[in-house]
């Protein structure tokens, strides 16, 4: 009788960071580690990394399995969305992974396919969409609403009453100032918050902000 098959999609930095958490879960469920592979469509040489076989997506689908569960561990949110759609079409189940030391408090709804790295904290009354990635030591404080395919690099400090729209990317060590229930601070769809930025007011959709206080990044129009 065939057994479930588990995949971490992406064998680069993000995937390798998540694999030990996946491994811990798979072992705890009593499955053997040969049921856990990396999926990567790039050229993989060698054919395994950190003790796990790498297969491309077509080969993953061809492996015998009673069911397939995949976690998309790729930081680029648009790639993540494209792959998530393909998985859905192929009836591959979405797999959420979280470190055993994450802290999740009251009334937190977390969409499918989330990846929560070690030391992530989600406090109370938080709504988060699908395929959220929160890297090491990030936190989300009370009453935040986070959309789909949002990405947090390590140590993001997302304070209370903040809305983060779909596909926003928050860089390492960024701090986002608390909003209020009447006027949440909003990070717009697809906005990028640079590493170490201190965000004190809302960021429009698609805009990149950097610095303290964070301001829109102005690219020089003339190169010297």
Which residues carry out catalysis?
A: 142
| Contact residue for ligand UDP among 7, 8, 10, 87 (CB under 6 A) | 10
* Site for ligand UDP contains 7 (CB under 6 A): no
79 or 172: whose CB is closer to ligand UDP? Answer: 79
Question: What secondary structure letter does DSSP report for 64?
Answer: -
* Site for ligand UDP contains 129 (CB under 6 A): no
60 or 139: whose CB is closer to ligand UDP? Answer: 60
CB of 56 to ligand UDP, least distance (A): 7
* Site for ligand UDP contains 42 (CB under 6 A): yes
Question: What secondary structure letter does DSSP report for 78?
Answer: H
* Site for ligand UDP contains 11 (CB under 6 A): yes
Residues 72-111: x where in contact with ligand UDP by CB under 6 A, - otherwise, as a string: --xx---x---x----------------------------
Q: Which residue is nearest to ligand UDP (CB)?
A: 42
What is the secondary structure of 113-176 as a DSSP string?
A: T-EE-TT-EE-SSEEE-TT-EE-TT-EE-TT-EE-SS-EE-TT-EE-SSEEE-TT-EE-TT-EE
**Region near ligand UDP per CB under 6 A, out of 34-42, 108-116, 151-159, 171-179:** 34-42
- Count residues near ligand UDP (CB under 6 A): 13
Strand order in the sheet with 145-146: 108-110, 126-128, 145-146, 162-164, 185-187
133-134 vs 151-152, strand pairing mode: parallel
At a CB cut-off of 8 Å and minimum separation 6, what does 121 contact? 102, 103, 104, 105, 138, 139, 140
């Amino acid at each position: 009788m065939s057994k479930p098959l588990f995949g971490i999609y992406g064998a680069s930095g993000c995937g390798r960071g998540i694999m030990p958490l996946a491994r811990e879960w798979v072992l705890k469920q009593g499955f053997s580690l040969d049921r856990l592979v990396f999926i990567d469509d790039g050229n993989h040489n060698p054919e395994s990394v950190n003790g796990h076989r790498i297969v491309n997506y077509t080969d993953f689908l061809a492996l015998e399995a009673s069911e397939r569960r995949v976690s998309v561990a790729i930081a680029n949110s648009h790639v993540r969305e494209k792959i998530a759609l393909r998985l859905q079409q192929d009836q591959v189940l979405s797999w959420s992974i979280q470190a055993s030391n994450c802290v999740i408090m009251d009334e937190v709804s977390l969409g499918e396919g989330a990846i929560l790295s070690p030391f992530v904290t989600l406090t109370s009354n938080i709504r988060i969409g699908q395929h959220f990635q929160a890297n090491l030591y990030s936190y989300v404080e009370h009453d935040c609403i986070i959309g789909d395919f949002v990405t947090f690099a390590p140590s993001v400090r997302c304070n209370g009453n903040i809305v983060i729209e779909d596909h926003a990317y928050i860089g390492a060590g960024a701090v986002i100032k608390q909003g209020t229930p009447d006027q949440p601070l909003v990070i717009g769809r697809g906005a990028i918050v640079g590493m170490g930025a201190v965000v004190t007011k809302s960021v429009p959709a698609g805009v990149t902000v950097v610095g303290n206080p964070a301001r829109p990044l102005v690219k020089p129009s003339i190169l010297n």
